[in-house]
Structure 1
Amino acid sequence: MNDDTREKRWQDRFPRLLPRYALLACLALVVVSLGVVLTPARPRESAEPSFSDQARGAALAETVRLLDAGSHLGTPAREGSAAPSAVRSTDLPEGKPADTGNRAVERAVTLLTTQAQALLAPGQSLPDAPGASRADSGEPSASASASAGAASAAAASAAGSSAAASSAAPLPATAGQLVTALADSGRQRLADAAVADGGMARLLAAVGTAQLLEASALAAGTGTAAPPADVAFPQLSGACPTASTGSGAATTGTAPRAAADSPQPPDSPGIPGASPAPGATVETALAAVARTEAQTIYGYQVALPRLDGDAAKSAAEQLARHGELLSSAESLSRQHCSAVPPREAGYALGPSFLASPAAGLGSLETAALPVYGDLVALSDGETRQWAIAALLDSGKRAVVWGTDPGALPGLDRAALPSLPAN
């Protein structure tokens, strides 16, 4: 009887207590949710930068460091100001005026400024070029030096320990030291280009090529020893994988590979003119190289009878060199199971080429630069090593014929940042 009474009381009381239980449950949920919100989330560990990002950061840090050094060496004297003291007439060989050295240094500063702008990551900005504002004494201003130091520190932070060590190294204090540092930086950029991804490889190859060429130009302009500016071509080896079948197409190496089967390089946002055209492959790039070399050979054959003396001798040597490059490009095409473009009997050359064959040969050499740049971006391994060496080779030949390959040879000039005002 008592049990029945207690059960009846509970049944009568439960409906009245139900709202309280619901309220307590809601309060518990609120407390738990507040605890979750107020508990700070464990910060995610930042991912290690890729090799390409590290290589870009290191290139930027070293380029800004060289830019700072060049700015300290001086630029041509402005109207109403004294000549810079860093490049003195006593530093140059007899008969070479000091302003020649100054112009060579200023050209290096302009080139390095353009390269630094191209190496900036999206969202980064470059301080005003150091040394642009100078006192009448010709010494760099304190604010300019501070800007360059800040830029070096920012670039070193992005690049890691290797760039930090480079940034902390003493600045080249003489034209000879700047020549050596430029050449060392150029060789390092080319070494990094062999490993980096896609468009970044093309950008690094362009920077390294221009720095090696500028080191030679600065050495000539300041009367210092010229550094070696060569990159060894790899010994090409290998064959199309289908060659083992013994078929006729495989034997000639002309079995084309579908474009969809060729790996595409990763996109390179923020790098003007570095990414290849959509749909481009290593096979199409090699075909473009072969056609460009065949056209260049024809140009040399036409120009050679119109040249004499040292120019004719140089043209004959370069003609033989282009024959080797064409054979190598065709060999690489076969290795990639790609069709080799047929050699045409002739190519159209404008009247200006016949009127000035030396300048025309220089134009042909510079026209080959973006073709090799495409191949650098699209290829890897042995093929990319060959393309990097050929890019530098073309830049050197352009200089021989009096044509400027630019601050970033191998990139689309229309997409490059504007040159800074002198």
Structure 2
Amino acid sequence: MKDDTREKRWQDHFPRSLARYVLLACLALVVVSLGVVLTPARPPEPAAPPFSEQARAAALAETRQLLNAGSQLGTAARTGSKDSPAEDADGRPAAAGNPAIERTVTLLTLQAQALLAPGESPADAAGAASASARATPQAASSAASSPSASGAPGAGASAAPVPVTAAGLVAALAGSGRQRLADAAVADGGMARLLAAVGTAQLLQASALAAGTGTAAPAADVTSSPVSGTCPSPSATAPSTGGQAAAEPSTAAQNEAEPSAAASSLGGALASAARTEAQTIYGYQVALTRLDGDAAKSAAEELAHHDALLGAVESLSRLHCSAVPPREAGYTLEPSFLASPAAGLGGLEAAALPVYGDLVALSEGGTRQWAIAALFGSAKRAVQWGADPGALPGLDRASMPTRPAGETPSQPAG
């Protein structure tokens, strides 16, 4: 009887409380919805910049550090203080107004200008480099996959401070040059050409600075694995039968009968390189009849090297299904070449730089690695024969930045 009374009392109370429960539920929903609306949305993570942009920003930041160290070194050298950090291998202060230091500062100034992005001011460069260093994945992860990047610091990492000594600047300059070449092997075409030019000039200037300050010369050679092969047939990419593995096609192999625009451009760059090498070989053959002593010995060695380069270019042309230009019997040489064959050879080597710069920009993979090594080799030989490869070897001189006011002209790195 008591239980029936209790149940009847609850049934009478529940309808009266229902409105209260509904009101409380509505208030709870309002509070929750207001909290969702008022809580700001979490901003999305910024996208990592492309590898080429990371490599450019890192190159600019490191070049500016090198420029700052070179400027301090030049100031200390001009002061001639016994306590200055500009000392040669024997611990003596470097000579006031050392030309090698001044040329290094000029070269780095021009390179820093060339590495600025369109519309970017030097003040903006530090922020861009910091963003590149924070971005993921870092440029080092891609550069490390390149054969030439082994042992090099990451392109996206912050560069360590450069010691303001001749030996410290030489080592840092060579290290930066090697990293730029490693990044050039991975970057997009136009940026690859710029980075290859910067890296080549920095490596050569490191050797020149070492010779001009009496410090130990860094290792300044760039090599690549030989690339050979033939144009793959259309059936090479088809599934194999009989359990035989299909041959791996080159990156430039085309399935269509007509080559793509990119392949045609690469073929044109290879043809231009072949013609340039053939003309250079002819020039060395003529120069050998007018040189003697050590100059003749060097010319004979370089002639053999250019024979190998021409053979490599022809092999690359066949690998990329491009026509190999026929070798001509002779070429026209300027009278100045016959009058001064050593200087003429330097001019031939310097003339090959834009050709190999084009090949760097238009190729990829092993072909680009080969082109980078060929670009560096031509610049190095140009210096040996007394020519000036410039601050950006491989780039058109008309596209280079103008020299800052008050700077002395850049001299050959040798």
Distance change (3 Å), C-alpha of 1:357 and 1:192: same
Equivalent residue, structure 2, for 1:156? 129
Q: Decide which moves more: 102-111 or 289-298.
A: 102-111
Q: Does structure 2 retain, via aligned residues, the 8 Å contact 1:370–1:411? A: yes
One-letter identity of the residue aligned with 1:237: S
Equivalent residue, structure 2, for 1:182? 173
Question: What is the alpha-carbon distance in structure 2 between the residues aligned to residue 344 and residue 99 of structure 1?
Answer: 52
Equivalent residue, structure 2, for 1:361? 345
Question: What is the alpha-carbon distance in structure 2 between the residues aligned to residue 41 and residue 346 of structure 1?
Answer: 72
Residue 160 of structure 1 and its aligned partner are, at CA, apart by 1.6
Distance change (3 Å), C-alpha of 1:97 and 1:178: closer
One-letter identity of the residue aligned with 1:291: R
Provide TM-score, normalisation by structure 2: 0.74
Distance change (3 Å), C-alpha of 1:244 and 1:214: same
Q: Does 1:235 align with 2:219?
A: no
Equivalent residue, structure 2, for 1:288? 272
Which aligned pairs between 1:242-253 and structure 2 lie closer than 5 A? 242=233
Residue 43 of structure 1 and its aligned partner are, at CA, apart by 5.2
Query: Over aligned residue pairs, what C-alpha RMSD do you find?
Result: 3.0
Q: Does structure 2 retain, via aligned residues, the 8 Å contact 1:61–1:159? A: no
Equivalent residue, structure 1, for 2:122? 126
Q: Does 1:91 align with 2:75?
A: no
Q: Does structure 1 retain, via aligned residues, the 8 Å contact 2:288–2:299? A: yes
Which among 396, 407, 417 is matched to residue 380 of structure 2? 396
One-letter identity of the residue aligned with 1:123: G
Q: Does structure 2 retain, via aligned residues, the 8 Å contact 1:56–1:159? A: no
Residue 163 of structure 1 and its aligned partner are, at CA, apart by 6.3
Which among 280, 284, 289 is matched to residue 305 of structure 1? 289
Equivalent residue, structure 2, for 1:263? 262
Q: Does structure 1 retain, via aligned residues, the 8 Å contact 2:54–2:132? A: yes
Question: What is the alpha-carbon distance in structure 1 between the residues aligned to residue 365 and residue 325 of structure 2?
Answer: 23
Question: What is the alpha-carbon distance in structure 1 between the residues aligned to residue 133 and residue 308 of structure 2?
Answer: 41
Q: Does 1:220 align with 2:218?
A: no
Residue 159 of structure 1 and its aligned partner are, at CA, apart by 2.4
Residue 233 of structure 1 and its aligned partner are, at CA, apart by 2.1
Equivalent residue, structure 1, for 2:66? 66
Which among 409, 413, 418 is matched to residue 393 of structure 2? 409
Residue 232 of structure 1 and its aligned partner are, at CA, apart by 1.4
Question: What is the alpha-carbon distance in structure 1 between the residues aligned to residue 258 and residue 380 of structure 2?
Answer: 33
SS in 2 for 1:240: coil
Equivalent residue, structure 2, for 1:109? 105
CA offsets per residue over residues 338-363 of structure 1, 9 Å max, x none?
11000001111011100111111000
Distance change (3 Å), C-alpha of 1:126 and 1:316: same
Residue 305 of structure 1 and its aligned partner are, at CA, apart by 1.2
Q: Does structure 1 retain, via aligned residues, the 8 Å contact 2:77–2:95? A: no
Q: Does structure 1 retain, via aligned residues, the 8 Å contact 2:272–2:355? A: yes
Q: Does structure 2 retain, via aligned residues, the 8 Å contact 1:193–1:201? A: yes
One-letter identity of the residue aligned with 1:73: L
Residue 235 of structure 1 and its aligned partner are, at CA, apart by 2.2
SS in 2 for 1:48: coil
Residue 123 of structure 1 and its aligned partner are, at CA, apart by 1.5
SS in 1 for 2:357: helix
Q: Does 1:378 align with 2:350?
A: no
Question: What is the alpha-carbon distance in structure 2 between the residues aligned to residue 95 and residue 301 of structure 1?
Answer: 46
One-letter identity of the residue aligned with 2:204: L
SS in 2 for 1:65: helix
Q: Does structure 2 retain, via aligned residues, the 8 Å contact 1:156–1:163? A: no
Distance change (3 Å), C-alpha of 1:301 and 1:291: same
Q: Does 1:197 align with 2:188?
A: yes
Question: What is the alpha-carbon distance in structure 1 between the residues aligned to residue 386 and residue 81 of structure 2?
Answer: 28
CA offsets per residue over residues 10-34 of structure 1, 9 Å max, x none?
xxxxxxxxxxxxxxxxxxxxxxxxx
Residue 236 of structure 1 and its aligned partner are, at CA, apart by 1.3
Q: Decide which moves more: 194-203 or 44-53.
A: 44-53
Q: Does structure 1 retain, via aligned residues, the 8 Å contact 2:162–2:172? A: no
Question: What is the alpha-carbon distance in structure 2 between the residues aligned to residue 76 and residue 345 of structure 1?
Answer: 56
Which among 326, 330, 337 is matched to residue 321 of structure 2? 337
- Percent identity over the alignment? 70
Question: What is the alpha-carbon distance in structure 2 between the residues aligned to residue 187 and residue 43 of structure 1?
Answer: 38
Question: What is the alpha-carbon distance in structure 1 between the residues aligned to residue 258 and residue 302 of structure 2?
Answer: 33
One-letter identity of the residue aligned with 1:166: S
Which among 142, 166, 183 is matched to residue 158 of structure 2? 166
Q: Decide which moves more: 283-292 or 411-420.
A: 411-420
Equivalent residue, structure 2, for 1:208? 199
Distance change (3 Å), C-alpha of 1:238 and 1:163: closer
Structure 1, gaps ≥5 residues long: 1-37, 128-149, 246-254, 265-279
Question: What is the alpha-carbon distance in structure 2 between the residues aligned to residue 191 and residue 174 of structure 1?
Answer: 26
One-letter identity of the residue aligned with 1:192: D
